[in-house]
Amino acid sequence: MNILFASSEIFPYAKSGGLADVAQSLPAELKRNAKVYTIMPLYASIERQRYNICSCDFSFNILLNKINHQIDLYKREDNDFEFFLYNPVLCDRDGLYHDEHGKFGDNHLRFGIFSYAIIETMLRLKLKIDVIHLNDWQSALVALLAKTKYALSQKIVFTIHNLAYQGIFHKSAINELDLSWEECFKSDRFEYFDQVNFLKAGIFYSDVITTVSPTYALEIQTPSYGNTLEKMLIANNHKLHGIINGISYEVFNPSTDENIYTHFDKQSYELKLKNKIKLSKELNLPQPHRPLFIFVGRFTPQKGVDMILQSLHLLKDFEINVAILGNGDSYYDNVFANLANMYPNIHITAGYNEGFARKLYAAADFLLMPSTFEPCGLNQMIIMRYGGIPLVAKTGGLKDSVIDYTDTEHHSKEIGIGVTFEEYNLFWYMHAITKAISLYANQKKYLKFAKHNMSVDNSWRHSAKEYMRVYR
Ligand code: GLC
């Protein structure tokens, strides 16, 4: 089985969210059973030297609307399976999809070029491919091109990581990208309220759609989570599968992670405490033996930062410590910046730093994840691997990977144990936090669940098998 895996971001080269982590760790696991090529843009921000990315001395042109777009092919010197596409329109700017002034105005053209280039690379290099696996709207146009213009025989798998981002543009994109109005400007295909929608094209033209958890696959067929595409998804649900993401068990490993203060595993769990004490000192948090709650993530409404913000003014009086790491929407960046030195037991770090994030996971007793919706979520899996307890809203992939500690009837080896809340409001969120505090007070119980979480298998092992089944 030969797979071409296309993504607009792959860790460590470029990352704006969980997609990049998945686009790194899923292909790595699939490679055990298949030949997998990955392909992504060679953005200006990618450090070519650091990763030994070199030119293949192979270029070609894509003619769109009488304009020639030159594509140069790159790969890693030590690896024939990771391709990078360079084109100035696609790659030469600050940011992947936007900068401080907002979204780039030509993203339809940029990712249209990317989509053409994916197919042209496959054809021109004569790669023998059985399945092209696309991710999110940025590569979704490949499905349309494969089934129309190019009439390819390869099967197309399209994964939706987040329905909130659809790639909606002015309909003039059809001319700019040399597409056929008759073929694709239809309400069940590419058309969307007299505009065009890249995600819709992916849904309609792919052979299989997957999304990143079974619960999210159901949720997106309802008006609350369907982001106006619920009817479209219902019409295509015969080819829709929910497969939960995994995380890399090599990258996330508290017994080898070089970012953390003291290594530990299930057997030496007591060493985790050293991480908390060291970090608390470093962050100037009082009484390091208190339970430590962390939040790591993008400051966007999806991640529940409004709930976090409302709760901080209450948590200042609790005998707990809170450490927050993140950045995102400028409104939230400002609000968090103003709170940064307000309360002694609440520490806020602006920005994103992978090494510091790992220190937080290693130190934390609880991870806060009050997402308003969550296609899968990876942080709840990371905290489990680092011997902590996730506190999550019962939605999407969080619901599929975490069961409440009081729900003993449903405890099993397969699922993580945490604190969950269902009704989305401050009352039930605070209720969950007080439940977490009382769980921590019962150390015997807490340790049992924390160690349980360390032995739950959230690696890609199971889910990669499901993808192989889908490919077949
Ligand atoms: C998006 C989703 C997140 C998911 C990730 C990887 O970032 O918001 O829930 O885990 O994609 O699929």
pTM: 0.96
Distance CA 143, CA 137 (A): 10
pLDDT at site 6: 99
Distance CA 168, CA 394 (A): 29
Helix (H) or strand (E) holding 417: strand 416-421
pLDDT at 108 exceeding the cut of 90: yes
Ligand 1, atom 5, residue with closest C-alpha: 18
The residue-averaged pLDDT of 169-175 equals: 98
Distance CA 311, CA 344 (A): 15
CATH class for domain 2-243?
alpha beta
The answer to whether the CB of 136 is under 6 A from ligand 1 is no
Q: In testing the pocket of ligand 1, which one of 7, 19, 402, 460 has its CB within 8 Å of the most ligand atoms?
A: 19
The answer to whether the CB of 389 is under 6 A from ligand 1 is no
Taking CB atoms within 8 Å and a gap of at least 24, the contacts of 78-84 are 78/52, 81/31, 81/35, 81/36, 81/37, 81/38, 82/37, 82/38, 83/37, 83/38, 83/39, 83/40, 83/121, 84/13, 84/39, 84/40, 84/41, 84/42, 84/46, 84/53
The first and second tokens of residue 18, run together, are 């969980």
pLDDT at site 25: 97
pLDDT tens-digit readout, 39-74: 999 999 999 999 999 999 999 999 999 999 999 999
Cα–ligand 1 centroid distance for 379 (angstroms): 10
Cα–ligand 1 centroid distance for 10 (angstroms): 13
Per-position b or e across 95-127, b if 16+ CB within 10 A of its CB: ebbeeeeeebebbbbbbbbbbbbbbbbbeeeee
The answer to whether the CB of 243 is under 6 A from ligand 1 is no
The answer to whether the CB of 25 is under 6 A from ligand 1 is no
The residue-averaged pLDDT of 189-204 equals: 98
pLDDT tens-digit readout, 151-162: 999 999 999 999
The residue-averaged pLDDT of 101-119 equals: 97
Atom of ligand 1 nearest to the CA of 212: 12
* Fold annotation for 269-455: Rossmann fold (3.40.50)
The answer to whether the CB of 245 is under 6 A from ligand 1 is yes
The answer to whether the CB of 297 is under 6 A from ligand 1 is no
pLDDT at site 296: 97
Distance CA 9, CA 18 (A): 9
Distance CA 411, CA 56 (A): 52
pLDDT tens-digit readout, 383-439: 999 999 999 999 999 999 999 999 999 999 999 999 999 999 999 999 999 999 999
The answer to whether the CB of 328 is under 6 A from ligand 1 is no
The first and second tokens of residue 139, run together, are 């590569």
Ligand 1, atom 12, residue with closest C-alpha: 161
The answer to whether the CB of 377 is under 6 A from ligand 1 is yes
pLDDT at 120 exceeding the cut of 90: yes
Q: Which of 463, 5, 18 shows the shortest CA–CA distance to 241? A: 463
Count of residues making up the chain? 472
Distance CA 233, CA 78 (A): 41
Do 2-243 and 269-455 come out as alike in CATH topology?
Answer: yes
The answer to whether the CB of 22 is under 6 A from ligand 1 is yes
For the chain, domain boundaries: 2-243, 269-455
pLDDT at 352 exceeding the cut of 90: no
The first and second tokens of residue 150, run together, are 């190019």
Atom of ligand 1 nearest to the CA of 164: 8
Cα–ligand 1 centroid distance for 378 (angstroms): 7
